[in-house]
Each structure stands twice: as structure tokens, then as C-alpha cells.
Structure 1
Amino acid sequence: MIFDYPSQRTERTHGPSGYSTYESYRPWLRDEFTFRCVYCLKREMWGQVTCEFELDHFEPQSVVPDRELDYFNLIYACSRCNSVKLNQGISDPLKILTSNFVVVLPDGALVSDNLDAKRIISQIDLDSPKLRSWRVMWMRIVDLANERDANLYQQLTGFPPDLPDLGRLRPPSNSRPQCIAMSWFAKRQLGHLPQSY
């Protein structure tokens, strides 16, 4: 389903460090978060022209300034979710907003028994009537495209054409250089990139 949260992970895939600005981590974060908002799962391909994705610190810079350039404190979020979060401190959404803890119902509602997931859903207002309606609309759009227009379906559910080639990047340091081979760009080069996700 288009709004299934990802499987739970114990750690991040990539480990770049040492950049002088957190914006330098964008290509790594795009890959890490599979080109979608960590909170609401909005995809880059749904807002290609407007480029509505931001880098945020789940532990705010105002509270923990020494983590401003820490890759493991950065997340990839759409403008809407990032503006709702503001300076709230939250648990790491990459570990909490997962298919183990959050289920999206056909009516767009989010259901969770996990207290940390419930807290993030509340903090980011992810279960508001407006977002429920938005999810239902996109589920229907994707279903219709699947039934009637294979090219549109591929565009809506597939990867963006400009996958970052992480192997060409040279961060000052990288604790997980071997994981570049697991990037979406590397998978495409090997012919292993899924048609949709």
C-alpha cells in the first residue's frame, strides 16, 4: 500500500560526517529516507516542481546545538510536517514510525499501540481529518492510475529519476562506506531497483 510505513531498522544505512553545513547531507538523507517524508510519507515525485522537502533535526538545534551537523540527528521531511514540528524534540522517527508500530487504515486513519509512535503522531498532527482525507485521496489516485494508466502509476509510485550517486560524493568522513553499494542509485546500476515502492 502506498502509505505503508517502512520496516523497523536498528540503525541507519549511511554514516557520512564532517560536512560544514547540514544541507550537504541532503543526497544522503534523500537516499536514507527513500525520497519521502519520514512523517507523512509524502513522496518527492508528488511535488517534483515545488521541491517541498527540508532537512530537520529531530533533536532541535536550539536544545542540542552540538548535534547541528550530526547526520544521525537529521531527517528528511516535507515542508508541512517540518513546520508543524518546529522546535519540538521527538524520538527518532526512523525507528518509531515503522510498520511494526503504525498502521494506515483504508479511511486514512493512523493506528498504533506504541506510546512513542502515538506521541509523534500527536506532535506532528499526522492523524488530523485533513491528513486522513489527503491520504485517502492519494490512495484513490494511485489505485486509479494502477487500473487505467501504467505510466502514471509508475511515475507516482516509482523512484525519482535523479537518484543521488553517493559513490561520487566525498564527505570528510564516512563510518559506513560499504553501504554506498546498498544505495538506490547502486541498485539501479545493477538492475535491482524495484519498479515501485
Structure 2
Amino acid sequence: MILHSRQWIDHYLDEGRWGQGTLLEQFDQNRAANPDREAVVDPPDRPDLVGTAARSLNYRTFGRAVDATAAELARRGLGKDHIVVAQLPNVWELAMLYLAVARAGGVLTALPLQWRATDVGYVRELTEARLYIAADHAKGFDYIAMGRTLGFEQCLSLAELTAIAEGPVGSPPPPVTVDANDIFTLCWTSGTESRLRACS
């Protein structure tokens, strides 16, 4: 999903302000060069947040999780420019999901845990997202039930996402061109108006 005009892209490339590399390429380079180096670390309060133990993953293990998740999301129909809504705390699976969704050609938009049906429903309607990935329960709230009520076609819990990431790596997703000018994520702001605003 490229939102800038070709004219602006060429202008900033010519000035040397923009480059051609992508986050996926940088990740793959780090993964190849430092497979045993620590890549991501869970927050120490993960057990309180989602009820499972905190972990530390090296680039080899983390990269394999990205590959497995990208392949499964593609198998489930995720393709170029499709938007995925996630409502997860800052656990390793969220960091992994950004890369996996991008590898399959999609765009991840991560929402704060405190948002409920009004805001999440507005994001779903605006983005036409079909896939929702969320914490199973957090602070006693059932996110998956909310996602189903809001009409997402597919709802994946954190437990299901973890199982996919740790499972076998299936067939790689079909080749997708991800350009340095493609949108990597959608972020949201609220508090100044009655409606949320997205920025990329």
C-alpha cells in the first residue's frame, strides 16, 4: 500500500532523504548475521498480562516464528495490502506479528488494550479488516468475544498465534513485492476529536 505519489517518492529519493531498504530486509540481514543473538525479550510482567511465562528469543527462533506465521496467515487468505487488526500487550508475539504480516504483504494496525467495541468497531469498519488477533483475556475482558461480535471474519487468540508461531513452517507465502515506500503499519490517535485518526 503506497500512499505517496511517484513524484514525491522520486523527489525524496533524488535528494537522498529516502532509501530503498525495507525493515524486512534489515531483519533478514540481522537474522543471517547473528542467528544466536538475542532478538526480542518479553516484559517481566508477562505472566500478569497474559498468564504465560516471559521469554527471550534469539534471531534464529524469532525468524522461524516470523516465517511460520507469515505462511499460515497467507494460507488463511492474507494478501497484499490487507489490513490486520491486533490488540495485544507488548509481548514477543506482537513484535513478530509486524514482520509476519508485512512478509505476507499485509499491514498491521495495533490497537491499545483499553479500547473497546466503539473504537475497535470503528477501526474495523474504516479499514475493512477481516482478521483480528487479540489477547485471550486481559484484566478479565474477553477480546475474542468482542471481535466476533464486531463481525471480524477471523479471530485469532494470542494462544492460537503462539501455537502457529511455534509450529511447523508451512509452504512460504506467495512472493509479494514489498517496497520501501509501502506502508508498514497504521497507528491511531484519539483524544482531540470524537473520531479516531489514522496515520502511517
TM-score range, shorter-chain basis? under 0.3
Pick the structure with more strand per residue. 2
Q: With the length of structure 2 as denominator, give the TM-score of the two structures.
A: 0.25
**Structure with greater contact order relative to length (CA < 8 Å, sep ≥ 6):** 1
